[in-house]
């Protein structure tokens, strides 16, 4: 599991997932292992979460993460690590 190089202190992290998505499960594990608080949104059971995900990412693929209004869509843990490490 990749650990972040420097800890960006996010105020608001929203993770949009589909329950049977392997990448989504890996992202949840990554966030937990880095002690990052987040709101988990299941887009398959929550229509408003689905609509929000489409609005911010312009796509229907998961996972999508919104970190203080910085959005990363359709990614794996390696891409999330790189994205997180670039946040300032």
CATH 3.40.470.10 given to domain 13-86: no
Domain boundary assignment for the chain = 13-86
Using DSSP bridges, classify how beta strands 13-17 and 64-67 pair: parallel, antiparallel or unpaired.
antiparallel
pTM: 0.90
Bridge partners (DSSP) of residue 68 are: none
pLDDT, tens digit, 9 for 90 and up, residues 19-77: 999 999 999 999 999 889 999 999 999 999 999 999 999 999 999 999 999 999 999 99
CA distance 14 to 67: 7
Residue 41: beta bridge partners? 16
* pLDDT (tens digit per residue) in 9-22: 889 999 999 999 99
């Amino acid at each position: 599991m990749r650990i972040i190089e420097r800890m960006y202190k996010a105020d608001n992290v929203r993770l949009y997932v589909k329950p049977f998505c392997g990448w989504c499960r890996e992202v949840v594990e990554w966030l937990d292992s880095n002690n990052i608080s987040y709101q988990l949104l299941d887009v398959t059971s929550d229509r408003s979460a689905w609509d929000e995900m489409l609005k911010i990412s312009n796509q229907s693929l998961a996972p999508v993460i919104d970190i203080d209004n910085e959005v990363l869509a359709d990614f794996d843990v390696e891409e999330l690590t790189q994205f997180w490490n670039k946040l300032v």
